[in-house]
Chain A
Amino acid sequence: MVDKVLTANRLGDGIAVWLNAAGEWSESLQEALVARHAEAVATIEEIGRKSYADNEVVDVNVVDVQEVNGILRPLRLRERIRAEGPTIEYAAGYTAADAEFIAA
């Protein structure tokens, strides 16, 4: 089975977040709880449904990831960009996403 993490956007500010092992929403994919079997996936999905119903987050999704050298990396480009931010220098004080992480 492909490893999976739970992601969403925080209701109040829309920032992309990932569910961590403490059951909290973290702004870092690297802190995400990785579900490695079907029961674990079902559990994080249930947590996602509850958090959505409790109006903490919106747009809740399970996404496929791969762990390479201790780094979690979503399989889809879309999710890598969500995790790292825009791949361009878009504003003063904000850096572009790491090109190596983004690359297919």
Chain B
Amino acid sequence: MYRYDEFDHAFVSERVEQFRDQVTRRLAGELSEDAFKPLRLMNGVYLQLHAYMLRVAIPYGTLSSRQMRMLAHIARKYDRGYGHFTTRQNIQYNWPKLSETPDILSELASVEMHAIQTSGNCIRNVTADHFAGAAADEVADPRPYAEILRQWSSVHPEFSFLPRKFKIAVTGAERDRAAIQVHDIGLHLKKNEAGELGFAVYVGGGQGRTPMIAKKIRDFLPEADLLSYTTAIVRVYNLHGRRDNKYKARIKILVHETGVEELTREIEAEFAELRNTELKLPEADIQAIASYFALPEMPDRAEGWSQLAQWKKADEDFARWVQQNVQPHKHPDYGMVTISLKPIGGIPGDASDAQMEAVADIAAEYAFDEIRVSHEQNLILPHVALADLEPVYRALVAAGLATANAGLITDIIACPGLDYCALANARSIPVAQEISSRFGDPIRQAEIGELKIKISGCINACGHHHVGHIGLLGVEKKGAELYQITLGGSGDENTSIGEIIGRGFEPEKVTDAIETIVDTYLGLRLDPSETFLSAYRRVGPQPFKDALYGSAAEAA
């Protein structure tokens, strides 16, 4: 893992003290709300419906046990005993007191964490494949580049007041687990024919009220040019991005309105000026950062294969969990474990302080002290020996964290929605809970297979509904909640934006509608290996429309 150097420590500590002074002056009435609001947002402090909310950055979703224990401590001491893991691999606390946020940030700084740039019109937390460094299909670990981008973008003087927020994601495998094509910049780490590392560069993706798939503007950018090219993109955006209308201020609109060819020409011209400047990354610097992310010393544990077979034979639930929540690691004796934060009927992404402590303990004992947060709101133990899977499972069961549903219909992404969020128009969490309960039977889930449901409580799309195989968007209509359904979205290497299927459904009817869609899929799939998404892409929306709206009484 990356460790702070002296500069990082000094910078974060100074920032905490600066914010402490700002909060003190605000509470004393020396700073007005208008003056203070942008300052608190720069430190991750929002105001929600019921209280303040603090969003803490987890760079590229990577955590140590020590850091996870601190997150648990903060939940316990300063909040209501839980936290919410987000779709940007961060964590949010829903009940912090403004007067205590400087203390929280000070405690976070003691474990090399902060909340800087988790809000505001700046470059946000850089996200990455949650299996980075461990995945068998990876070309190289994307996190060193995410860390380089983090250092470059932190309080970048030119890019601290962009037209709008700016999100970057990096993946290092052909299989895109970081949804790079719905980011302002998506970077796909790859090798060219000469075996050199570089990036395919995508620009102008995003969700929100105007969903767009990013355009590839470079098939191969040498790794040394990462910062100069990224600077060129953000500079062109900063110069030409619209500031007259916040709904048209993201780079996706600039790409759309300018045209990708013209914008690429401008970016390339800027890049030509920057290419051989101090922004060029020396190989030694890349290697120095990469060394922080080296795989831990992982001894061969071949005994795990036979043990695992025996355990699976003896315990059906364990076998199901391994089947669903453990993925192959690049070391054959190890696996990557997904800890589902989607208990049946539970709140997607929430974890109690005790659960966070349990994960920290398990990671320290069995997983080389490393934890990841996925953008799908689960936790990951990236390096677990097959020989340790059974005790890891037992410990997760004890903590209520062993739901075997990774990638299945109950592994739902949901934004906080109207239960917390000041921007929301409708609730997301209760809808997710009801769908989860309806489909909670493990046999039924397994029969349905891979199916990603994503729910947003407003058009800002924090719940990623546009790229859900089934997406749900909550709206307010005549003072009541209504849920619009989209089908066929996907946030992987074959990204697609879901299509609206028809009129929306009232809260009490939406789970039935989902069941109708699922039953329709089960009835038309060629065989169980044809996933929902594949089937939808084959047959299109009509069979689902017919099933949903055949009787007008079913729709609102």
Contact = CB atoms under 8 A, between A and B. Distances in A.
Contact of B47 (A9, A52, A78, A91): A9
Contacts of A87: 419, 427, 430
Residue among B33, B350, B481 having the largest count of chain A Cβ atoms under 10 Å: B33
A81 B418 contact: yes
Contacts of A78: 49, 418, 424
Nearest to A56: B29
A16 B422 CA distance: 12
A86 B50 contact: yes
Interface in B334-392: 347, 350, 352
A92 B47 contact: no
Interface band, chain B: 20 to 34
B418 A104 contact: no
B420 interface: yes
A13 interface: yes
Contact of A11 (B27, B420, B427, B480): B27
B479 interface: yes
B480 A59 contact: no
Contacts of A15: 50-51
Contacts of A75: 479
A81 B32 CA distance: 28
A55 B35 CA distance: 12
A82 interface: yes
Given A77-B480, A87-B430, A14 B51 contact: yes
A33 interface: no
Contact of A92 (B81, B424, B433): B81
Contact of A88 (B52, B98, B347): B347
Given A14-B98, A88-B347, A55 B51 contact: no
A87 B347 CA distance: 12
A90 B99 CA distance: 23
A76 B425 CA distance: 10
Contacts of A76: 479
A93 B81 CA distance: 10
Given A13-B97, A77-B418, A91-B82, A58 B33 contact: yes
Interface in B81-98: 81-82, 94, 96-98
A92 B479 contact: no
A91 B80 contact: yes
Contacts of B424: 78
A12 B97 CA distance: 6
B429 interface: yes
A55 B29 contact: yes
Given A87-B430, A94-B80, A14 B29 contact: no
A78 B429 CA distance: 15
A49 to B, nearest CB: 12
Interface string A59-83: 1000000000000000111100110
Contact of A86 (B47, B352, B419, B480): B419
List the 7 closest pairs (A to B, CB-CB), nearest first: A14-B52, A13-B97, A14-B51, A86-B419, A55-B29, A91-B80, A82-B49
Interface of B: 26-27, 29, 32-33, 47-52, 80-82, 94, 96-99, 347, 350, 352, 418-420, 424, 427, 429-430, 433, 476, 479-481
Given A15-B50, A82-B49, A88-B429, 17 more contacts: A11-B27, A13-B51, A13-B52, A14-B52, A16-B49, A16-B51, A52-B33, A77-B418, A78-B49, A81-B49, A81-B427, A82-B50, A86-B419, A86-B420, A87-B419, A88-B347, A90-B347
5 contacts: A15-B50, A55-B32, A58-B33, A88-B419, A90-B419
